[in-house]
Amino acid sequence: MTLMKHLLGASALLALTAGAALADPAIIYDVGGKFDKSFNQAAFGGAERWKEETGGTYKELEMQNEAQREQALRQLAEGGANPIVMTGFAFGDVLNAVAPDYPDTKFAIIDMVVDQPNVKSVVFTEDQGSYLVGMMAAMASKSNVVGFIGGMDIPLIRRFGCGYAQGVKAVKPDATVILNMTGTDGSAWNNPVKGAEIAKSQQSQGADVIYAAAGGTGVGVLQAAADMGILSIGVDSNQNYMHPGSVLTSMLKRVDNAVYDAFKEGEALTAGINVMDLKAGGVGYAMDENNAALVTAEMTAAVDAAAAKIVSGELVVHDYMSDNTCPAGQF
Amino acid sequence: MEWASFLQILESTIRLATPLVFACLAGLYSERAGVFDIGLEGKMLVAAFAAAAAAFATGSVWVGTLAGIGAALLFAAIHGLASITFRGNQLISGVAINFLASGLTVVLGAAWFRLGGQTPPLTGDMRFADAPLLDLFGITDPNPVIGLIFGHSILVYVALLLVPFSAWLLYRTRFGLRLRAVGENPAAVDTAGVSVVGLRYAAVAITGVLCGLAGAYMSMALSAGFLREMTAGRGYIALAALIFAKWRPWYCLMACALFGLLDAVAIRFQSIDIGVFIIPVQFTQALPYILTVIILAGFVGKAIPPRAGGEPYVKER
């Protein structure tokens, strides 16, 4: 009985202190982990930038498994965090169920559309960014075979692969694009050993440029490519620095901007769908001193010309998720 | 299928089967001595972390290997203490080891390296050389068959040599006879005046060393650094292989090679066009697990575990 009383007292105290810390924004990272050097790390970068500029504080949570999602969301919402940003499509269903219970809290979800009055859905046109790096891959390839390694096999990742394949074919119509996925469950984001093994398999099939869109698994792909002396392409964050001279470029997905914007808007977050496309600076390719020697002026000229055409609407990149087919390659 | 991709699949099989062989033999020693060990996964994980962390700190792959073995030995000692000395439930102790390893590696990694549970990438001497035997013979551009046989990390050969060694140790030596006896009928061993507790601790310690090698291979040869949960269930696959192998060393090698081969095929042929229809990538990826279930259910015959397995030994008074 005494124990019960203590427990109740403690939880009441906890609820009080949680309520006192009013309206801090919060961010929830997906199972890939905050330091995946890729998607989640970009989100972390955005949150840190906001913290630096405003001097505010924010709460953060990392998911360890699928079952924690709803609990984490409710815990943050009840703790008074506002807005709550979450990275990853996997929060979609959970958020759809949780959002109506907290009408005064604003949510932002990245990579997924959730149709609720208090949710901002941020989606990127990865197909456009991947198209651009696909063009670079085709121009850098000597064997006319290039590879793509996705993480978990979901339509979103196929969108990356499909955009990439279209970019490759636009430059070299006769080139071969090998499209592989790491797996079908969450561990596919965190399996560098398998990523490296797939990269070796693609290399043995002739690939000399490999694009990894696979979260933590990509670390293994980039490592294997560097070991084998072939080129790789990073994703989401700028990964050029990881193996200078081996990473051709990185497909940038400005998740950091999305998180930063959401935090900045604060409680006044506008609900609705926010498409971060090439025009809005949501996607692009990375250039810095680590890959300057690998990218020729001819490549940047061609890619920038294509980018201008995409922005103007003259060139339309097929979006895999619009009809679940890819004209340029077979998964 | 052309010759080159056939060789490539075999090469991939060898790489993927090696950690399984280490873990499977590790389980073999422990279970043959009557101590069930579902903590192989956890011991591999903690060894992978300790190896990568020590290799990064000292710049030497060998110090890393020793650290990996040390960490796995420590976890094996915890398992031994709980299940041999204190006669606890071996399965629960094993599960606890797995949870402890999963949490501890990330917490320590985050505290030491501030990379969210990863270790920094390993370079140069912090990793196992790709093909030390080829370097030794001065072969720079081997033909594919030579490369397949000699072009692997040193631990691959250690794993392969451990199989005949284990068979010899278990079936041709006094220590092996006693070790097997202690898993079948510990009372008889005790009557003969041999320490049951001592033998079981010895077996659990060997398990620790082998798990340490498995972990070191994963973080310093197959990849370059530790990533959380990077063992990705290989400890459990090794346990399945152990049952499939009926707790025998040579069968262990074959079972692990089969599972490695299935994994390699799934990686190489993601969508197989067989003319009539295309076998989807999801099926290829599930194939190792489907076959595991089929084999375990149907073709394995009777897999009889060591009779005293899972039971702590209590001396009758």
Angle among Cα B149, B152, B153 to the nearest 5 degrees reads 150
How high is the pLDDT of residue B290?
Answer: 73
**Which residues on chain B are in Cβ contact (under 8 Å) with A242?**
121
Single-letter residue type at B293: V
Same structural domain for residues A222 and A299? yes
Q: Look at B147 and B295; give whichever has higher pLDDT.
A: B147
How far, rounded to the nearest angstrom, does the alpha carbon of residue B27 sit from its chain's CA centroid?
8
| Residues sharing a CB contact under 8 Å with residue A327, sequence separation 6 or more, in sequence order | A166, A318
How high is the pLDDT of residue A19?
Answer: 43
Note whether residue A41 is domain-resident: yes
Residue A68: other Cβ atoms inside 10 A: 16
Domain count, chain A: 2
Q: What is the mean pLDDT of residues B20-48?
A: 95
Same structural domain for residues A247 and A308? yes
Q: What is the CATH number of the domain that holds A70?
A: 3.40.50.2300
Note whether residue A2 is domain-resident: no
Q: Is B227 on the interface with A (CB under 8 A)?
A: yes
Highest-confidence segment of A70-74, A182-186, B131-135: A70-74
Note whether residue A49 is domain-resident: yes
How high is the pLDDT of residue A18?
Answer: 46
Q: How confident is the model at residue A134 (pLDDT cuts 50, 70, 90)?
A: very high
Is there a contact between B229 and A190 if contact means CB atoms under 8 Å apart?
A: yes
Same structural domain for residues A203 and A304? yes
Same structural domain for residues A19 and A39? yes
Q: Which residues of A touch B (CB under 8 A)?
A: 33-36, 62, 153, 180-181, 183-184, 187, 190-194, 196-198, 200-201, 204-205, 216, 219-220, 223, 227, 242, 330-331
Residue A328, both tokens: 């340029």
Residue B301, both tokens: 């015959």
Q: In what order do the strands lie in the sheet with A145-152?
A: A176-183, A145-152, A209-213, A231-236, A247-253, A283-285
**Which residues on chain A are in Cβ contact (under 8 Å) with B228?**
33, 190
Tell me how close the Cα of B267 comes to any Cα of chain A, in angstroms. Answer: 6
A186 pLDDT exceeds 80?
no
Domain with A234, as residue range(s), is 127-252+283-323
Is there a contact between B118 and A35 if contact means CB atoms under 8 Å apart?
A: yes
Is there a contact between B230 and A191 if contact means CB atoms under 8 Å apart?
A: yes
Note whether residue A240 is domain-resident: yes
Highest-confidence segment of A177-181, A268-272, B74-78: B74-78
Phi-psi map region of B225: left, alpha, beta (phi>0 left; psi -120 to 50 alpha): left
B315 pLDDT exceeds 90?
no
- Between A183, A201, A205, which is nearest B12 by CB? A201
Is there a contact between A242 and B268 if contact means CB atoms under 8 Å apart?
A: no
Closest-CA residue of A relative to B124 is A227
Q: Look at A32 and B212; give whichever has higher pLDDT.
A: B212
Same structural domain for residues A191 and A305? yes
Same structural domain for residues A264 and A135? no
- Between B118, B230, B271, which is nearest A193 by CB? B230
Tell me how close the Cα of B3 comes to any Cα of chain A, in angstroms. Answer: 12
Contact B232, A193 (CB under 8 A): yes
Note whether residue A137 is domain-resident: yes
A16 pLDDT exceeds 50?
no
Same structural domain for residues A190 and A305? yes
Same structural domain for residues A233 and A264? no
Q: Which residues of B215-225 are buried (b: 16+ CB within 10 A; e: fewer)?
A: bbbbbbbbbbb
How high is the pLDDT of residue A20?
Answer: 43
Residue-averaged pLDDT of chain A = 88
**Which residues on chain B are in Cβ contact (under 8 Å) with A34?**
116
How high is the pLDDT of residue B1?
Answer: 57
Q: How confident is the model at residue A17 (pLDDT cuts 50, 70, 90)?
A: very low
Single-letter residue type at B70: G
Same structural domain for residues A137 and A182? yes
Which residue reads 């692009």 in tokens?
A284
Q: How confident is the model at residue B277 (pLDDT cuts 50, 70, 90)?
A: confident
Q: What is the pLDDT of residues B174-215, one digit of tens each?
A: 999 999 999 999 999 999 999 999 999 999 999 999 999 999
Return d(Cα B182, Cα B194) in angstroms, integer: 9
Note whether residue A153 is domain-resident: yes
Note whether residue A329 is domain-resident: no
Same structural domain for residues A172 and A292? yes
Return d(Cα A275, Cα A125) in angstroms, integer: 7
Q: What is the pLDDT of residues A218-270, one digit of tens each?
A: 989 999 999 999 999 999 889 999 999 999 999 999 999 999 999 998 888 88
Angle among Cα A47, A151, A245 to the nearest 5 degrees reads 75
Reduced to 3 states (helix: H, G, I; strand: E, B; else coil), residue A150 is strand
Q: Is B152 on the interface with A (CB under 8 A)?
A: no
The DSSP result for B200-245, as a single string, is: HHHHHHHHHHHHHHHHHHIIIIISSS--TTTTTTHHHHHHHHHHHT
Q: What is the pLDDT of residues B241-270, one digit of tens each?
A: 898 888 999 999 999 998 898 888 888 876
How high is the pLDDT of residue B233?
Answer: 83
Same structural domain for residues A117 and A144? no
| Residues sharing a CB contact under 8 Å with residue A77, sequence separation 6 or more, in sequence order | A84, A98, A101, A102, A105
Q: Look at B315 and B273; give whichever has higher pLDDT.
A: B315
| Residues sharing a CB contact under 8 Å with residue B205, sequence separation 6 or more, in sequence order | B73, B76, B77, B80
Is there a contact between A197 and B264 if contact means CB atoms under 8 Å apart?
A: yes
Report the DSSP pairing between strands A272-276 and A145-152: unpaired
**Which residues on chain A are in Cβ contact (under 8 Å) with B223?**
192-193, 196, 219-220, 223
Note whether residue A330 is domain-resident: no
The neighbouring-strand residues paired with A283 are A253
Q: What is the pLDDT of residues B34-44, one digit of tens each?
A: 999 999 999 99
Q: What is the pLDDT of residues B144-158, one digit of tens each?
A: 888 888 889 999 999
What whole-number percentage of chain A has pLDDT above 90? Answer: 63
Taking Cα atoms as reference points, which of B257, B233, B234, B248 lies closest to residue B301?
A: B248
Taking Cα atoms as reference points, which of B222, B217, B262, B269 lies closest to residue B48?
A: B217
Element (H, E) at B272: strand B272-273
Return d(Cα A20, Cα A23) in angstroms, integer: 9
Same structural domain for residues A119 and A188? no
Lowest model confidence (mean pLDDT) among A123-137, A184-198, B40-54: A184-198
Which residue reads 């009840």 in tokens?
A78
Cα–Cα distances (Å) from B231 to B98, B164, B193, in that order, read 11, 26, 41
Q: How confident is the model at residue A103 (pLDDT cuts 50, 70, 90)?
A: very high
Q: What is the mean pLDDT of residues A66-86?
A: 90
- Between B121, B229, B270, which is nearest A180 by CB? B270
